[in-house]
C-alpha cells in the first residue's frame, strides 16, 4: 500500500500521542548520551571530559552560521576564529549565510546590488579559505531581481557558493502587526519565483529567515514560515530551510508539516525544552536540522536542543549532521565537491 508523507506523519504522530511519547515528556531520558562512562558500561553522568569524544562522534553539520561578529579584521581572520570554536564543539561543516561586516557588525537589512556583491565576495573568501569546512550562500534581495540573478550566475554557476540566503525581502502591508501565522494579510511572494526556479536548476539550497514574533515583525520585510512554504510548494525540486522555524516553534512547526521540500531549522532561539521533541513528532526526524545562528547565539545552546532532547540517539545523529549531509549531496555532486 502506498502512503504519502502527510498520511505517514499523521499516523505516526497519533501513534506517538497514544503512547504518551513526545506529547509531553517522559521523566527520564530514553537513551543516554554515549559518554565515556556510558561506553564503559558504567551508569554515570556525562562529564566535561567526555565532551570532546562525544561531540566529535556526532559529526555535526551546522545549517545556520554567520561570521560577522567573530574576531578579526578580515574575513579570513574571522574564519580562523570561528573554526577555533567549531573544532572545540565538534562541528565539522557549516552553511555560511553571511560573512561581511557593515559598521555595527551585521549586514544591511535591505542590501542594494552593490551591498549584495560585497557581501557575497566576503562569503566567497570564507569558502575559499576553508573549503572543506564551509558551504556558502549568496545573499539575495528580490527587490533587485536582475542583480540577484546575476549574483547567482557569478557566485554559484561560476563560483564556489552552493546556496541562497534571504532575510527581509519584500515589504508588508502598512499597519501589519502581530498575528499568529502571517503578521497580517498574506503577501504576494511571486517575486521569489524566478530565483527559486534558478536555484532548482543549479540544485542550490535556500535558507530563508522566518519569524513570527509575539511583538510583531522586527522588520517590514520579515516573513513567516507559512508564507515561505507557499513558495516552496511551487518549486518542489528546491530544498528550503525555514530559518528558526519561525521562532515561535509551537506555531512554525505546523507550517513545515507535510511540505516535503521544506525543513525545520532549529537555530537561533532559546534552548527551550520540548522544541526538538515536537519537531520530530510532527515532521519526522528527516525534516529537522540543527543550526546555531552563531555568533549571535552559541554552538552550545543550540547543540543542547538536540543532545538534551528526549529522542533516540539515532535521531540525534540525523538532526546534528545526517540530514544535512543528505540534503547537500545533490548540489555537492553537481559541483564535483567531496562531502
Partner 1 sequence: MIDTNVDLFQWPFRRLAGDDPASLVINLRNKGVTQAWACSYEGLLYRDMAGVNARLAAAARQYGPNFLVPFGSINPKLPDWQEEVRRCAEVHKMPGLRLHPNYHGYTLDDPAAGELFSLAAGKNLLVQIAVSMEDIRTQNPLVKIPPVDPGPLADLMKRSPNLRVQLLNAGYHGGANTRHMGDISRLENLYYDFACQESVAGVAKLVAQTSPERVLFGSHYPFFYFESSFLKVYEAGLPAEQETAVLEGNARRLLGSGAAQS
Binding site for partner 1 (CB under 8 A): 24-29, 32, 45-48, 51, 69-70, 82, 85, 88-89, 178, 180, 211, 213-215, 247-250, 269-274, 294-301, 303-305, 307-310
- Smallest gap, in angstroms, from Cβ of residue 310 to partner 1? 6
CB-wise, 46 or 145, nearer to partner 1?
46
| Alpha-carbon gap, residue 5 to 278, rounded angstroms | 17
Residues 221 and 169 sit within 8 Å (Cβ to Cβ): yes
**What 8-state DSSP symbol labels residue 187?**
P
Grid coordinates standing for 189? 511572494
| Alpha-carbon gap, residue 298 to 117, rounded angstroms | 28
CB-wise, 196 or 299, nearer to partner 1?
299
Q: How many residues does the chain have?
A: 339
- Smallest gap, in angstroms, from Cβ of residue 225 to partner 1? 14
Q: What are φ and ψ of residue 96, in 5° steps? A: -90, 125
- Smallest gap, in angstroms, from Cβ of residue 26 to partner 1? 7
CB-wise, 27 or 338, nearer to partner 1?
27
Residues 249 and 257 sit within 8 Å (Cβ to Cβ): no
Residues 246 and 225 sit within 8 Å (Cβ to Cβ): yes
- Smallest gap, in angstroms, from Cβ of residue 274 to partner 1? 6
Residues 325 and 339 sit within 8 Å (Cβ to Cβ): yes
- Smallest gap, in angstroms, from Cβ of residue 244 to partner 1? 10
- Smallest gap, in angstroms, from Cβ of residue 87 to partner 1? 11
- Smallest gap, in angstroms, from Cβ of residue 83 to partner 1? 11
| Alpha-carbon gap, residue 263 to 248, rounded angstroms | 15
CB-wise, 47 or 190, nearer to partner 1?
47
CB-wise, 19 or 334, nearer to partner 1?
19
Q: What is the largest CA-CA distance in the chain?
A: 62
| Alpha-carbon gap, residue 46 to 56, rounded angstroms | 14
| Alpha-carbon gap, residue 152 to 167, rounded angstroms | 16
CB-wise, 182 or 213, nearer to partner 1?
213
CB-wise, 82 or 206, nearer to partner 1?
82
Amino acid at each position: 500500500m502506498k502512503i504519502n508523507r502527510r498520511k505517514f506523519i499523521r499516523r505516526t504522530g497519533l501513534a506517538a500521542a497514544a503512547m504518551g511519547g513526545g506529547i509531553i515528556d517522559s521523566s527520564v531520558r530514553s537513551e543516554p548520551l554515549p559518554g565515556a562512562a556510558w561506553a564503559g558500561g558504567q551508569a554515570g553522568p556525562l562529564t566535561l571530559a567526555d565532551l570532546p569524544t562525544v561531540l566529535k562522534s556526532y559529526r555535526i553539520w551546522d545549517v545556520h552560521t554567520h561570521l560577522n561578529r567573530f574576531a578579526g579584521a578580515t574575513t579570513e581572520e574571522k574564519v580562523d576564529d570561528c573554526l577555533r570554536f567549531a573544532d572545540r564543539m565538534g562541528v565539522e561543516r557549516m552553511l555560511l549565510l553571511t560573512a561581511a561586516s557593515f559598521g555595527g557588525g551585521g549586514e544591511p537589512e535591505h542590501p542594494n546590488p552593490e551591498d549584495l556583491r560585497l557581501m557575497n565576495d566576503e562569503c566567497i573568501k570564507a569558502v575559499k579559505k576553508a573549503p572543506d569546512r564551509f558551504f556558502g550562500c549568496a545573499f539575495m534581495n528580490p527587490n533587485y531581481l536582475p542583480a540577484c540573478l546575476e549574483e547567482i550566475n557569478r557566485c554559484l554557476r561560476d563560483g564556489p557558493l552552493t546556496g541562497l540566503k534571504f532575510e527581509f525581502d519584500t515589504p508588508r502591508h502598512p499597519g501589519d502587526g502581530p498575528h499568529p501565522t502571517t503578521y497580517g494579510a498574506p503577501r504576494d511572494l511571486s517575486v521569489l519565483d524566478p530565483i527559486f526556479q534558478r536555484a532548482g536548476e543549479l540544485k542550490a539550497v535556500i535558507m530563508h529567515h522566518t519569524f513570527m514574533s509575539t511583538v510583531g515583525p522586527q522588520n517590514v520585510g520579515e516573513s513567516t514560515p507559512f508564507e515561505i512554504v507557499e513558495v516552496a510548494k511551487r518549486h518542489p525540486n528546491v530544498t528550503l530551510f525555514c530559518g528558526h522555524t519561525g521562532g515561535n516553534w509551537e506555531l512554525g512547526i505546523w507550517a513545515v508539516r507535510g511540505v516535503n521540500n521544506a525543513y525545520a531549522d532549529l537555530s537561533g532561539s532559546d534552548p527551550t525544552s520540548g522544541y526538538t521533541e515536537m519537531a520530530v513528532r510532527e515532521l519526522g526526524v528527516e525534516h529537522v536540522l540543527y543550526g546555531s545562528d552563531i555568533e549571535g547565539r552559541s554552538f552550545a545552546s543550540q547543540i543542547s536542543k538536540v543532545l538534551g532532547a528526549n529522542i533516540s540517539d539515532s535521531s540525534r545523529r540525523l538532526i546534528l549532521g545526517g540530514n544535512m549531509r543528505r540534503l547537500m549531496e545533490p548540489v555537492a555532486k553537481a559541483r564535483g565537491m567531496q562531502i
